Amino acid sequence: MTSGLNLRSLQPEGEAKGAPETLIIAVYAAADGPERAERFARQWQPMVPGVQFLGLELADMLWRVDVSSVQRIVAEAAALRGLGPAQILLLGLGEGGRLAVELVVTGVLPVLGVIAYDIPLPNADLPRHRSAAAVRLIQQNTPDDPGNTRFRALTRDLQRQGMDVRAILLPEGSLWSHDMPMRAGTAFLLELVARASLIPPR
């Protein structure tokens, strides 16, 4: 545990054998618990056997997260496995997902991309930064954002900044027990892992 950050393995059967080709780091708040991240790793691992899954659990007070510590932890995790930024993907969940998106689109974390689920929407435009990272958003329709107006505005804003952004809107109340949200992100997963495999390690 460092500065309210806890990095742990999410491998369904312990650490992957051999050197991974791609590293996926799930970012989530401690209040959410690791169960959702573990479920992603468990269901996605057979589709991407060359991927290693880690979880970065954040203290509940996300506004106090030490960004420099996040940068160091991600860089060290990649270097330990002989990987560079282009072989790292973030999986952002809920509150932690919003932080993951902000760190990627502002260039604070120079990774290949981020797949984010159900992020709380910002009240203002994100800082402008021309990043080459891919941003993939999966969002459920909620009463807090009637007609998905704010979510669509966020997507358009990122696209106007020249970013590679794609989004999927799910019906309100899509149940995780029915796997709809996870299936919605699978195509994004396969796309970005394939892209990472084409880039030589650092």
For the chain, give every domain's residue range.
Answer: 5-197
pLDDT > 70 in the chain, percent: 84
Q: Where are the alpha helices (DSSP H) in the chain?
A: 35-44, 67-80, 94-105, 149-160, 180-197
Output DSSP code: residue 92: E
Homologous superfamily assigned to 5-197:
Alpha/Beta hydrolase fold, catalytic domain (3.40.50.1820)
| DSSP characters over 134-165 | EEEEEEE--TTSGGGHHHHHHHHHHHHTT-EE
pLDDT digits (tens, 9 = 90+) for 49-70: 999 999 999 986 666 788 899 9
Under a CB-based contact definition with an 8 Å cutoff, are residues 96 and 60 in contact?
no
Beta bridge pairs of residue 169: 139
3-state helix, strand, coil in the chain (%, to 5): 40, 25, 35
- pLDDT, residue 47, reads 93
pLDDT the model gives residue 195:
92
Torsional sign, CA 101, 113, 33, 180: positive
**pLDDT of amino acid 128:** 60
Name the most confidently modeled range: 4-13, 84-93, 95-104, 174-183.
Answer: 84-93
Predicted pLDDT at 64: 77
What confidence tens digit (pLDDT) does each residue in 129-178 have?
A: 667 899 999 988 777 777 788 888 889 888 888 889 999 988 766 555 45
Contact 22, 197 (CB under 8 A): yes
